[in-house]
Amino acid sequence: MLYFDDKQSLVAEILARYPSSPQGKRSALMPLLREIQNAHGFVSEPHMAEVAALIGTTATEVRSVLSFYSTYHTMPTGRFHLQVCSTLMCALAGSDELWDHLTETLDVQPGEVTADGFSVQRVECLGSCGTAPMLQLNDEGYYEGVTRARCDSLIAAMRAGSAPETDHPVPVVVDADGRQFLATGEAVGANTDSLYPLSTKPKSASSGGSV
């Protein structure tokens, strides 16, 4: 059975996001590949042919597009596919050491899958520069501010069978009075007591357009 055989409503929902022209239909290529990869961890040759048939192109075209992007895999990945950002902002926070520690502890190199289901990949900037270094788990989310101790405890939890919930820390938050705080509650910026909203009164609908 093909992957989308029993998921026709999902296919229809994805196709409906784009115009019904042949050009619009092709836009469904990436979302369809994403569905397959999320289910199987990678995209196989038969899957490429299946996607090609759905959007009216060839499997070669699908492979051409797939190979352009770095988050599609054509080889199986592990149950815990861990991706380490290695770009400068994370490197300044020790991502090279994190990578070495991870690959040594798990005894795995890119392209391999361990018996207990780990695979690793070095990736480029994932937008976690303020909470570096980081690990991305599968297509699920990030672990941020990963210290050596946290890395070890994450690995231990995964080895025991389940990955801890991924993070989503917001480094700086704004309170109702418009003051900026760290997530820890520490106020930032000098004289924060005197900070108040410049204009909390929205413009009325009739007053616009003129000077």
Partner 1 sequence: MTIAPPRPITSGKDPRFAPTLYASVGQPESWTLSSYLLAGGYQAVQRAFAIGNDAVIDEMKKSGLRGRGGAGFATGLKWSFMPLNDGKPHIVICNADESEPGSFKDRYLLSEDPHQLIEGMLIAGFAMRASVGYIYIRGEYVKAAERIWEAIHAAREAGFLGKNILGSGFDFDLQVHRGAGAYICGEETALMNSLEGLRANPRLKPPFPAAAGLYGLPTTINNVETFCAATQILKYGWEWHAGMGTEKSKGMKLFQISGAVLRPGVYELPLGTTFRELIYDWAGGPTEEIKAIIPGGSSCPMMPFTDAVLDTGMDYEAIAAAGSMLGTGGVTLIPRKDCIVSATWNLVRFYAHESCGKCTPCREGISGWMVRMYEKQVRGQGQPGDVQLILDMSDNIGGRSFCALADACLGPVLSSIKLFREEYDALANTGVAMYPARKRWKDA
Element (H, E) at 82: strand 80-85
- Please write down the HEC assignment for all residues of 85-122: ECCHHHHCCCHHHHHHHHHHHHCCCCCCCCCCCEEEEE
Beta carbon of residue 34, minimum distance to partner 1 (angstroms, whole number): 6
Are 168 and 141 a contacting pair, CB within 8 Å?
yes
Are 11 and 32 a contacting pair, CB within 8 Å?
yes
Which residue lies nearer to partner 1 by CB, 79 or 116? 79
Beta carbon of residue 127, minimum distance to partner 1 (angstroms, whole number): 4
Which residue lies nearer to partner 1 by CB, 117 or 141? 141
Are 87 and 125 a contacting pair, CB within 8 Å?
yes
Beta carbon of residue 92, minimum distance to partner 1 (angstroms, whole number): 5
Which residue lies nearer to partner 1 by CB, 78 or 133? 133
Element (H, E) at 84: strand 80-85
Are 94 and 102 a contacting pair, CB within 8 Å?
no
Are 132 and 84 a contacting pair, CB within 8 Å?
no
Which residue lies nearer to partner 1 by CB, 119 or 136? 136
Which residue lies nearer to partner 1 by CB, 161 or 209? 209
Are 28 and 53 a contacting pair, CB within 8 Å?
no
Which residue lies nearer to partner 1 by CB, 69 or 109? 69
Beta carbon of residue 153, minimum distance to partner 1 (angstroms, whole number): 10
Beta carbon of residue 112, minimum distance to partner 1 (angstroms, whole number): 20
Beta carbon of residue 136, minimum distance to partner 1 (angstroms, whole number): 7
Distances from the Cα of 164 to the Cα of 81, 119, 151, angstroms: 14, 17, 11
